[in-house]
Amino acid sequence: MRHVAISEMLSWERFYRANFINTLSGFKSVSLIGTSNNEGNSNLAIFSNIVHIGADPALIGFVNRPREAAPHTLSNIEATGSYTINHVHADILDAAHQTSAKYPIDESEFEAVGLTPDFREGVTAPFVKESRIQYAMELSEVIPIQTNGTYFVIGKLISVYFDESTLSDDGFLDISKAGSLTSLGLDAYYETTMMKRLRYAKFKREE
Amino acid sequence: MRHVAISEMLSWERFYRANFINTLSGFKSVSLIGTSNNEGNSNLAIFSNIVHIGADPALIGFVNRPREAAPHTLSNIEATGSYTINHVHADILDAAHQTSAKYPIDESEFEAVGLTPDFREGVTAPFVKESRIQYAMELSEVIPIQTNGTYFVIGKLISVYFDESTLSDDGFLDISKAGSLTSLGLDAYYETTMMKRLRYAKFKREE
């Protein structure tokens, strides 16, 4: 095993260090977040730090970079309270990744990368028509992270559109059946293969 | 595509709904968090909502359930400021999953599940000797999430021990080479296969 202390990492070239630290925390849930502003301009951006917060109430969070680095998604969510999260599969991966480029506010990433915005009743933000698992969120809390100026954005689940072939008898969605990918670091994408599901773990003191 | 609104999800049986909502947010970074308290009792617990917060400073966060549901890891981190995060591969998966059972405070999960605590100079918390990618953290912020009583725990990266075969020329750790798994929902674990790495995306207005 090789050992590296933070003092050594700080001496590394910036992109080398960013790759290392970004991969260390492990596989991520990669999805496209769709929003629109009050003028009706749509925005689409790829996010990979999406986490389950709780099932009752149904809450999901994501990390948003500082405002100057990634302004549109967060300001649209604050303006309308609405956003959609859309899984990414192989056929739309290149387009999804391209949304990470910095587009001007008047340019829709949907059009620029070739994905289709799908507006549906009761949800202000656009879904990504090509995505096989899509869900709508309503903003609950925007929590500033003091240490580095990022934000933890928490929302309530409103509705879900999904490929029914992924649904198991016990409510589990095997999203790998819909080709949903996982990401690692800044630029790597992985396919997955289920190894196993394990039973709920219980403590039993030895007799 | 099937559509389900939150009103319908609320009518579902509790475990069915938990499986559905837990899988919807996608693949997760599953790792073992090692801690110890000021009396020297060690604790080990599996966590799956671990997210990259930033590379400079190097920050990683995780979601901790409400204190009454998962008290030991968080109180140990608050007491000592120290914790380790250890990747999980197939050989230690059953043991890792078993740490999710509720053990009494005087019972070490290391001993109960058959993993080896590894204490190293400069870090109070124990590493998991069997893990192939291990890193030490120092507590930075504990942020209460008002909406459901969970906590977002943010720490600074202190040092890393890793299998050198995973390191690429540009600092990227291909953690799949060390067998690091990803998890989905409450109980499923997946192996991964790299599909591709994509270039940094740039905006170019069409000529």
Residues 57 through 96 of chain A touching chain B, CB cutoff 8 Å: 57-61, 63, 85, 87, 90, 93-94
- Of all residues in chain A, the one with the smallest CA distance to B106 is A205
| Whether A100 contacts chain B with CB within 8 A | yes
Q: Is A111 helix (H, G, I), strand (E, B) or coil?
A: helix
Q: Hey, are the CB atoms on A188 and B197 less than 8 Å from each other?
A: yes
| A12 located within any domain | no
| B165 located within any domain | yes
Instruction: Determine contact, residues A111/A44, Cβ cutoff 8 Å.
Output: no
DSSP labels for A3-72?
A: EEEHHHHTTS-HHHHHHHHHHHT--EE-EEEEEE-TT--EEEEEE-BEEEEEETTEEEEEEE--TTTSHH
Q: For residue A11, count other CB atoms closer than 10 A to its CB.
A: 7
- Cα dist. B186→A197, B4, B26, B46, B100 in Å? 9, 21, 11, 11, 10
Instruction: Determine contact, residues A180/B89, Cβ cutoff 8 Å.
Output: no
Q: Which CATH number belongs to the domain containing residue A72 in this structure? A: 2.30.110.10
Task: Look up the pTM and report it.
Answer: 0.95
Residue A5, pLDDT above cutoff 70 = yes
Range of the domain at A44: 26-190
| A10 located within any domain | no
How far is it, in rounded angstroms, from Cα B102 to Cα A8? 38
| Whether B19 contacts chain A with CB within 8 A | yes
Residues 20 through 49 of chain B touching chain A, CB cutoff 8 Å: 20-31, 49
Select the residue from B8, B9, B12, B25 to test the A interface by mutation, using most A Cβ atoms within 10 A: B25
Please give the structure tokens belonging to residue A42. 């749509």
Q: How many domains does chain A have?
A: 1
Please give the structure tokens belonging to residue A173. 């969605």
Query: C-alpha angle with apex A135: A133 to A141, nearest 5 degrees?
Result: 140
The tens digit of pLDDT for each residue in B5-51 reads 999 999 999 999 999 999 999 999 999 999 999 998 999 999 999 99
How far is it, in rounded angstroms, from Cα A32 to Cα A44? 7
Q: Hey, are the CB atoms on A25 and B51 less than 8 Å from each other?
A: yes
| A133 located within any domain | yes
In the predicted model, what is the mean pLDDT of chain A? 94
| Whether A178 contacts chain B with CB within 8 A | no
Residue A69 banded pLDDT, cuts 50, 70, 90 = confident
| B184 located within any domain | yes
Instruction: Determine contact, residues A26/A14, Cβ cutoff 8 Å.
Output: no
Q: Give the pLDDT mean for A29-47.
A: 95
How far is it, in rounded angstroms, from Cα A68 to Cα B168? 31
Q: What letter does residue B200 receive in the DSSP assignment? A: P
What percentage of chain B carries pLDDT values higher than 90?
88
- Of all residues in chain B, the one with the smallest CA distance to A131 is B1
Provide the pLDDT for residue A207. Answer: 39
Q: Which amino acid is located at B45 in the chain?
A: A
Of A26, A50, A173, the CB nearest to B50: A26
Residues with Cβ < 8 Å from A128, sequence gap 6 or more? A32, A34, A44, A84, A86, A92, A110, A115, A116, A117, A118, A134
Residue B207 banded pLDDT, cuts 50, 70, 90 = very low
| A147 located within any domain | yes
| A8 located within any domain | no
Provide the pLDDT for residue B32. Answer: 98
Q: Give the pLDDT mean for B85-94.
A: 98
| B15 located within any domain | no
Provide the pLDDT for residue A205. Answer: 53
Instruction: Determine contact, residues B65/B150, Cβ cutoff 8 Å.
Output: yes
Provide the pLDDT for residue A189. Answer: 97
| Whether A177 contacts chain B with CB within 8 A | no
Least confident of A36-40, B128-132, B180-184: A36-40
Residues with Cβ < 8 Å from B157, sequence gap 6 or more? A6, A9, A21, A24, B58, B59, B60, B135, B136, B137
How far is it, in rounded angstroms, from Cα B26 to Cα A51? 8
